[in-house]
C-alpha cells in the first residue's frame, strides 16, 4: 500500500480522524437525503451507511436537522468557482446560469435541491442556510469588485446586492413559488440586476 | 336575537355548515400555528380549539400539513387589495411595500410568517404555496395591465413577471436567506422591476 493511501486509511489526512468522520457522516446524510427524502431520513440509516456509532452522531450533531445544518456548513466552506471573463455582464450571466444548471440538470440537481428543501424544514437548517448564502454571496461579490476596479460598474454599487439580485429570482421560483425555472428566467435575472446596478439602484448606503 | 345572528348561529350563513366548519378549523389551525409553531402543532389541539371531532379533521384534511395547505387555499381565495393610484410606479411600490409591512409589522407578521414557513415544511404545503402565489400574482397583474392600457408600460410586458420581480426579493430574504428586510430593500425591488420592464426585459415570449 503506498504511503499516502496508508496515511489516509489510518485517518491522518489533513484535519485528522474527527474531520474524516465529519466528511463520512455528511456524505452519508446527503446520500440518504437524496435517495429517501427528508421525511424518511433517519440517524440510524445514516450511521449504517457511514459506519459510525449512533451515539457519536447524536452527541456531535443532535439529530437529522443538525446533520443537514452541518452539510450546509461544509458546503459553505467549499470555494465556489467564480467566473472571471473580464466582462462583468458575462460574469453575472454565468453566475445566474450556474444556479440554473445546478438546479435543473437531472444529474446535478437532486442533492442540492434536497439539501435546501430539507434546510427549510427546521430552524437549525434555516440558520445554516442563511450562513451558507452569506458565504456564497460574499465569495461571488468578487466579480463585482473586480468590475468596479475595471470601471465597468459604478464605484458605489453594493457587490453583494448585485449578486443577490442576479440569483434570488431563481431560488424564489425553485423554493418558494415552485414555478418552473428556464434559461430565460436565469438570463432575465442577471440582465435586470446589471441594469439596476448601472442605474444606481444597488448603491451601498452612505456610511 | 336578531335574525342574522340567529341564522349565523344555526350555520345557515352562505356556504352552509361545511364552509363554517372549514373556516373554524382553519382559524384554529392558524391560531395554534402562530402560538406554538409548526413543530408543536397537533390535530388534537386544533380540534379542541375549533370544537370539532378529530375524526372529522382527519377525514377531511388528513393531518396538520393538509390543514396548512387548506389555510393557504382559503387565503388565495381572499381578494388582495390591489393599489390603483393611476401611476404604475406608485402602484408597484405599494405592492412591494404591502409585502414589507405584512412581514415586518409586529402585529401583522406572525401569522403569515408562520403559515409560509409551515408550508415549506411539507410537499402538500409547498404545492398549496405554489397555488397561493399563482393566485396572488394573477390578481396583482391587473396593476400592470391597467398601466399598459394607460401607455405607462410597454405593451409586450409580461404582467405576472413584473409583479413577481417586484416582490420576489422580499420573500427571498424572508424565507430563503433569512436576511433582514428593510424599507430600502422593498423600494429597490419595486424600482428594479419597473426599470427592467421598461427596458423590455420582462416582455412576454412571442406566441
pLDDT digits (tens, 9 = 90+) for A135-191: 999 999 999 999 999 999 999 999 999 999 999 999 999 999 999 999 999 999 999
pLDDT at res. B16: 83
Could you report how far apart the first and last alpha carbons of chain B are, in Å? 60
Answer whether A66's CB lies under 8 Å from A124's CB: yes
Write out chain A residues lying below 8 Å of B134, CB-based: 177, 179
Question: What DSSP element (H or E) covers B99?
Answer: helix B88-104
Could you report how far apart the first and last alpha carbons of chain A are, in Å? 60
Cα separation, A91 vs A117, whole angstroms: 27
A135 part of contact set with chain B, CB < 8 Å: no
The alpha-carbon gap from A124 to the nearest alpha carbon of chain B, in Å, equals 12
Question: Could you tell me the CA-to-CA distances from B189 to A102, A139, B94, B160 in Å, in that order?
Answer: 25, 23, 11, 15
Mean per-residue pLDDT for A77-105? 94
Distance of CA B186 to the CA centre of its chain: 17
Does the beta-carbon distance from A176 to B176 stay under 8 Å?
yes
pLDDT at res. B65: 97
What is the band of A5 on the pLDDT scale with cuts at 50, 70, 90?
Answer: very low
pLDDT at res. B207: 67
Name beta bridge partners: A203.
A157
Question: Could you tell me the CA-to-CA distances from B66 to A174, B27, B37, B55, B75 in Å, in that order?
Answer: 21, 14, 16, 14, 14
Residue among A168, A175, A201 minimizing CB distance to B191: A201
Cα separation, B67 vs B115, whole angstroms: 10
Residue B172: φ, ψ to 5°: -60, -45
Question: Could you tell me the CA-to-CA distances from A175 to A117, A140, B76, B160, B171 in Å, in that order?
Answer: 7, 21, 18, 18, 10
Answer whether B127's CB lies under 8 Å from A179's CB: no
- For residue A23, what is its C-alpha cell? 466528511
Does the beta-carbon distance from B195 to A193 stay under 8 Å?
no
A179 part of contact set with chain B, CB < 8 Å: yes
Average pLDDT, chain A: 92
pLDDT at res. A32: 98
Measured torsion, CA atoms of residues B160, B163, B168, B174, in degrees rounded to the nearest 10: -130
Cα separation, B185 vs B114, whole angstroms: 21
Question: What DSSP element (H or E) covers A55?
Answer: helix A54-61
pLDDT at res. A80: 77
Measured torsion, CA atoms of residues B147, B149, B154, B160, in degrees rounded to the nearest 10: 60
What is the band of A192 on the pLDDT scale with cuts at 50, 70, 90?
Answer: very high
pLDDT in tens, A28-80: 999 999 999 999 999 999 999 999 999 999 999 999 999 999 999 999 988 87
Mean pLDDT per 10-residue run, chain B (207 residues)? 43 70 97 95 98 96 97 90 95 97 95 95 94 96 97 97 98 96 97 98 85
Q: What domains lie within chain B, and their CATH numbers?
A: 3-62 (1.10.10.60), 82-198 (1.10.357.10)
* Pairs of residues, one from chain A and one from chain B, whose beta carbons lie less than 8 Å apart: 102
Amino acid at each position: 500500500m503506498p504511503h499516502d493511501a496508508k496515511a489516509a486509511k489510518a485517518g491522518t489526512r489533513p484535519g485528522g480522524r474527527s474531520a474524516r468522520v465529519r466528511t463520512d457522516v455528511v456524505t452519508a446524510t446527503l446520500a440518504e437525503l437524496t435517495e429517501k427524502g427528508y421525511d424518511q431520513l433517519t440517524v440510524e440509516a445514516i450511521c449504517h451507511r457511514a459506519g459510525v456509532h449512533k451515539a457519536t452522531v447524536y452527541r456531535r450533531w443532535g439529530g437529522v436537522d443538525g446533520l443537514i445544518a452541518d452539510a450546509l456548513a461544509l458546503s459553505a466552506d467549499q470555494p465556489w468557482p467564480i467566473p472571471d471573463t473580464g466582462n462583468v455582464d458575462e460574469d453575472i450571466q454565468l453566475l445566474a446560469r450556474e444556479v440554473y444548471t445546478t438546479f435543473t440538470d437531472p444529474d446535478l440537481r437532486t442533492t442540492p435541491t434536497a439539501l435546501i428543501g430539507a434546510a427549510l424544514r427546521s430552524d437549525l437548517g434555516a440558520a445554516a442556510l442563511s450562513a451558507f448564502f452569506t458565504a456564497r454571496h460574499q465569495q461571488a461579490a468578487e466579480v463585482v469588485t473586480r468590475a468596479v476596479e475595471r470601471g465597468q460598474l459604478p464605484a458605489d454599487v453594493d457587490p453583494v446586492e448585485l449578486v443577490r439580485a442576479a440569483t434570488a429570482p431563481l431560488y424564489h421560483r425553485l423554493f418558494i413559488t415552485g414555478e418552473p425555472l428556464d434559461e430565460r428566467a436565469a438570463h432575465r435575472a442577471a440582465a435586470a440586476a446589471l441594469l439596476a446596478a448601472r442605474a444606481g439602484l444597488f448603491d451601498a448606503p452612505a456610511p
